[in-house]
Amino acid sequence: MKKLLLLITCLLLSNFIVSAQATKFKHAEGKFVNVNGAKLWIETEGNGDALFLISGGPGGSHVGMHSFEALKDVGKLVFIDNYGRGKSDLAKNVEEYSLNRDVEDIEGLRKALGYEKINILGHSYGGMVAQQYAIKYPQYVKHLIIANSFYSGEMWQANDDNCNHEIKTNYPEVWERLMAVRAKGEHSNDAEHIKIYGEIPYGFIYAYNPDKFLEALDKDYPNNFNSKLYYQLVGYDGDFIIGGDIAKVDYRKQLKDLTMPVLIIAGKRI
């Protein structure tokens, strides 16, 4: 497993998670697994110790995590579409989506797939799921890997504030229009607000090579991002003021009690 941790470090530091080389991937073999009353889609690749890959968002499907497919040489990769993402079932009521549900679905998948213990890699929001799972079910976690994630709602709020500062500084004309619709009472999950906010190139904030940021993603994959789920978990004005489940999170006091090996990777752009 030391080899796996080292390789993950190298991949992340080289911006592999957003595929700096923009290599087109192929989806691995997949199937549906019944977990907590829903069908969840997983894809598996490789052999050896299981590594569960939990994507970000919240609301993102697993497609971005295919950048880790090189790890199939040292472990069995389990790509997961959590509830409401990708090919997995959608909730009839948006209130069914929660951070706790995502954690329990990871545990349900572990049981359904027959693993005594698993390794977990969570990216961004997925890192919060991974942390909460490791805190609640430490006996089932061999290694915990957190990539560019958050340990609290307060930390996520600081990220929001920084992103909006960058937008205001670099896209003042868009920012002015955004402030105008907010002055009329619109919030992050309102249609006009979403349209204007979406004009900001996504990779501008998150990637060293913004033009290549999304080239490797499978644009034809169903339900790549569930915006209703996103605002359910981060709050109705989550692009500016964090609310929902995320606002309640603070793992700092509990993380110190974890005894499994933990790898934390963070960078300004990844």
- Consecutive 10-residue averages of pLDDT for the chain (270 residues): 50 40 69 98 96 96 90 94 98 98 98 98 97 98 96 97 94 96 96 92 72 67 93 97 98 96 80
- The total of other beta-carbon atoms located within 10 Å of residue 108's CB is 18
The pLDDT of residue 217 is 66
Helix (H) or strand (E) holding 33: strand 29-35
> In a 10 Å sphere around its CB, with 0-12 CB exposed, 13-18 middle and 19+ buried, how is residue 100 labelled?
exposed
Terminus-to-terminus CA distance in the chain, angstroms? Answer: 23
Check residue 209 and give its pLDDT.
72
Long-range contacts of 159-163 (CB under 8 A, 24+ apart): 160/238, 160/239, 160/240, 160/241, 160/242, 163/205
**What domains lie within the chain, and their CATH numbers?**
2-152+250-265 (3.40.50.1820), 154-246 (no CATH)
- Supply the pLDDT for residue 70: 87
Partnered with residue 260 across adjacent β-strands are none
